Amino acid sequence: MPAKNKILIADDNQANRELLEAYLATVDCVTDIAVDGQDTLAKVKSFQPDLILLDVMMPKLNGFEVCQKLRADAATRRIMILMVTALNEAGDIERGVKAGTDDFVSKPVNKTELLQRVQLMLKHKDVVDELERLRCYIDEMESGRPGK
């Protein structure tokens, strides 16, 4: 049986974190929380999430900055990032895309929309991970080296 997906909820507002955790109760996953940008980066190292629900407006590093740092690091660049934001101007969306987010969901969060996006992003990550495993296997076979 495959391991449960890990989802990190990064938001400085406790009510928002609790709401997102409640919405994710129907998803087969393990969750953890982060309360600001620096805490998010620390939790990414210790928790190693598959997906981050990332608030944009947080202290100590905003969501855009966190996203850029995660994308710049080879160890974290493949983590799926869903920005959860009240910002909805075209410039904010463009800034998020440039920072490297995979998708957006607007506040107030619609439960059905959130769950659909989470499920699709986790499926996408599973497919990408499987492709990477197959690529590594093919590389090993072509080079004549047995696997680990």
* Cβ count near 108 (within 10 Å): 7
Per-residue model confidence as pLDDT tens digits over 5-28: 999 999 999 999 999 999 999 999
Confidence class for position 4, pLDDT limits 50, 70, 90: confident
| Predicted pLDDT of residue 1 | 46
Q: How many domains does the chain have?
A: 1
Q: ∠44-129-22 over CA atoms, to 5°?
A: 50
Q: Where are the alpha helices (DSSP H) in the chain?
A: 14-23, 37-47, 63-72, 90-99, 111-143
| Predicted pLDDT of residue 94 | 86
Q: Which domain holds residue 125?
A: 5-143
| Predicted pLDDT of residue 145 | 62
**Inside any domain, residue 106:** yes
Q: What is the CATH number of the domain that holds 77?
A: 3.40.50.2300
In the chain, % of residues over pLDDT 70: 93
Please return the burial class of 52, using the count of CB atoms within 10 Å of its CB with bins 0-12, 13-18 and 19+: buried
In the chain, % of residues over pLDDT 90: 73
**Inside any domain, residue 62:** yes
Judge whether residue 130 has pLDDT over 80.
yes
- The SS3 assignment for 18 reads helix
pTM of the model: 0.88
Confidence class for position 129, pLDDT limits 50, 70, 90: confident
**Inside any domain, residue 27:** yes
**Inside any domain, residue 148:** no
